[in-house]
């Protein structure tokens, strides 16, 4: 059900808008300021375009483009002017918003971060990309886990970014923590088209969860992002698929209450439940052990592939980045320290 793209909103519906934003070139602080205003103007367009819209979603790299530039002068902070402008736009237009920033990190490479602001402009979700698209992306690996927040009209929402969606564990974690809608923002280019489509569908079906995903769009003179906003129902069926037209806003109504209903009432293919209750027909409550070697090895810090020594790309040198010398320091804050709080910088 898409409610004719959200034109016919039902009492339990959540209308999503995915912005296939034109891919920018951002080199200087002035460029960043101009692109910030472009995003703000698109929040207004979203509201005018669809008065019933609850949440507008901007793609990864909406502010910074695909240059992978880590220049501190164009990096953002949670308490910086870019996020303040987004907050004001959400208040002005009474609209929830999901935004992308490349976040200044005083201790290393910038983070690739995403935020969700409510219709009062208050921060409800703050996420740092766990899986940068290596060896291409230079961003620091995220250290906040995968948060879930309360969304519009009683929904539960999670956010992952681009390459994150290629790991089924990411979507499973979102669902495990209660997400009924998983947003996936991206800057992908055309070679990833098929993988994009099948993972968006599989992430939905395998977790009985709506997925709403959108890329940057158009060309910056070097790269061509593909747009292709895509909203999939909890059974994996695409509700709407976008085109390649820059600045088009793809819309649909989704039903979190139907997600909740399916998770409770489905027997066959209730995979998010059955994963932790294997064979419950044969044994009471099902087997609840962890038979997966890779999970146990990852927890114990000994994850190693049988072909590990033969892997060619183990740093970013193939893409012009110097091999790193720092080791990963782990988590720095807890979700409770930011969820629903006023906007402020978090280290």
pLDDT score of 345 = 42
Whole-angstrom distance, CA of residue 292 vs CA of residue 26: 44
d(C-alpha 292, C-alpha 260), whole Å: 28
CA distances from 243 to 118, 181, 247, 303 (A): 28, 22, 10, 40
What integer pLDDT is reported at residue 330 of this predicted model? 75
- How far is residue 316's CA from residue 324's CA, in Å, rounded to a whole number? 8
Q: What is the pLDDT of residues 104-158, one digit of tens each?
A: 999 999 999 999 999 999 999 999 999 999 999 999 999 999 999 999 999 999 9
pTM of the model: 0.95
* Among 98, 162, 217, 232, the one annotated catalytic: 162
The candidate with the shortest Cα–Cα distance to 78, out of 118, 122, 35, 16, is: 122
Catalytic residue among 60, 82, 173, 228: 60
Selecting among 9, 77, 90, 129, the annotated active-site residue is: 129
pLDDT in tens, the chain (347 residues): 567 889 999 999 999 999 999 999 999 999 999 999 999 999 999 999 999 999 999 999 999 999 999 999 999 999 999 999 999 999 999 999 999 999 999 999 999 999 999 999 999 999 999 999 999 999 999 999 999 999 999 999 999 999 999 999 999 999 999 999 999 999 999 899 999 999 999 999 999 999 999 999 999 999 999 999 999 999 999 999 998 999 999 999 999 999 999 999 999 999 999 999 999 999 999 999 999 999 999 999 999 999 999 999 999 999 999 999 988 887 655 443 444 444 444 44
Active site residue 174: no
Q: Tell me, what's the pLDDT at 329?
A: 81
Cα 188 from Cα 191, distance rounded (Å): 8
Homologous superfamily assigned to 3-275+312-337: Carbon-nitrogen hydrolase (3.60.110.10)
Q: Per-domain residue ranges for the chain?
A: 3-275+312-337, 276-311
Looking at 81-126, list the stretches that DSSP marks H as alpha helix, in order from N- to C-terminal side.
Answer: 81-93
User: What pLDDT is stored for residue 152 in this prediction?
Assistant: 98
Query: Is 60 marked active-site?
Result: yes
Q: Please report the pLDDT score of residue 3 as a whole number.
A: 77
């Amino acid at each position: 059900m898409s409610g004719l793209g959200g034109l016919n909103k039902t009492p339990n519906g959540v209308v999503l808008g995915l912005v296939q934003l034109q891919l920018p070139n951002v080199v200087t602080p002035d460029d960043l300021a101009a692109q910030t205003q472009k995003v703000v103007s698109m929040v207004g367009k979203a509201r005018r375009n669809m008065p019933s819209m609850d949440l507008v979603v901007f793609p990864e790299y909406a502010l910074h483009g695909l240059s992978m530039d880590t220049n501190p002068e164009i990096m953002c902070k949670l308490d910086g002017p870019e996020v303040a402008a987004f907050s004001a736009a959400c208040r002005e237009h009474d609209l929830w918003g999901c935004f992308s920033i490349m976040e200044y990190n005083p201790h290393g490479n910038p983070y690739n971060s995403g935020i969700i602001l409510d219709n009062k402009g208050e921060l409800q979700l703050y996420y740092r990309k766990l899986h940068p698209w290596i060896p291409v992306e230079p961003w620091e690996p995220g250290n906040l886990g995968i948060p879930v927040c309360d969304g519009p009209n009683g929904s539960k929402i999670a956010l992952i970014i681009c390459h994150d969606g290629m790991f089924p564990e990411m979507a499973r974690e979102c669902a495990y923590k209660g997400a009924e809608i998983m947003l996936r923002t991206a800057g992908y280019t055309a070679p990833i088209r098929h993988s994009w489509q099948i993972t968006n569908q599989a992430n939905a079906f395998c977790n009985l969860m709506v997925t709403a995903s959108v890329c940057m769009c158009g060309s910056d003179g070097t790269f061509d992002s593909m747009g292709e906003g895509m909203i999939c129902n909890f059974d994996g069926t695409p509700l709407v698929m976008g085109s390649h037209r820059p600045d088009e806003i793809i819309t649909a109504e989704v039903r979190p209450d139907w997600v909740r209903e399916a998770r409770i009432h489905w027997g066959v293919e209730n995979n998010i439940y059955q994963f932790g209750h294997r064979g419950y027909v044969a044994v009471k409550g099902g087997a609840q052990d962890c038979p997966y070697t890779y999970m146990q090895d990852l927890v114990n810090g000994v994850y190693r592939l049988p072909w590990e020594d033969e892997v060619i790309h183990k740093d970013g040198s193939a893409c012009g980045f110097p091999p790193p010398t720092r080791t990963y320091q782990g988590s720095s804050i807890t979700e409770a320290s930011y969820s629903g709080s006023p906007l402020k910088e978090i280290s």
